[in-house]
Copies of this chain bind each other. A is one copy, B any other.
Amino acid sequence: MLVMGIDPGLSRCGYGVVRHQGRANQAVAAGTIRTDRADPVPQRLFELHGELVELIGHHRPDVVAIEQVLFQVNVRTAMAVGQASGVAMAAAAGSGAEVFEYTPTQIKKSVAGWGAADKPQMGKMVQALLRLPQPLKPVDAADAMAVALCHLAHAPARARIEAAR
């Protein structure tokens, strides 16, 4: 199974692709899509959508896992992240992949073991789980990889629940 994690954002949108085979998780690709703060927001959303459609079309993940937007202190940032996540969801659903959302707490719990893990802890856990020689950079790519790993941690239970239905 191939899973793409997305950490949505308008200025920086992280992505990370993980292949799950047997019991191993292998990092396939990771990076950040950036848009220029100097450009109008609609143009930036259009570019983000186009880059995500291309990226998802290239990797063809079975699942796209997206970090759920929660309302933050900064209302303007929250709205931009909401708009970016809308564009990411449309791009993912259009590829035919299954799309799942996970909250920041779910992601931290399943990757680092507790819901209040900080960025350096998360980075080290992502590095360890994927057996990488060094921490993934930039941090948005590591965050996105954590979303993909969160889906892989939830997938067996999800499959059992669906089988039981």
Interface residues of A (CB under 8 A from B): 40-43, 45-46, 48-50, 69, 71, 75, 79, 82-87, 89-94, 99
Name the residue on B nearest A45 (C-beta).
Answer: B90
> Are B40 and A90 in touch, CB under 8 angstroms?
no
Residues on the B chain within 8 Å of A40, using CB: 93, 99
Q: How many identical chains are in the complex?
A: 2
Residues on the B chain within 8 Å of A75, using CB: 71
Name the residue on B nearest A86 (C-beta).
Answer: B83
Residues on the B chain within 8 Å of A87, using CB: 86-87, 90
Nearest CB of chain B from residue A75's CB, rounded to whole Å: 6
Residues on the B chain within 8 Å of A43, using CB: 93, 99
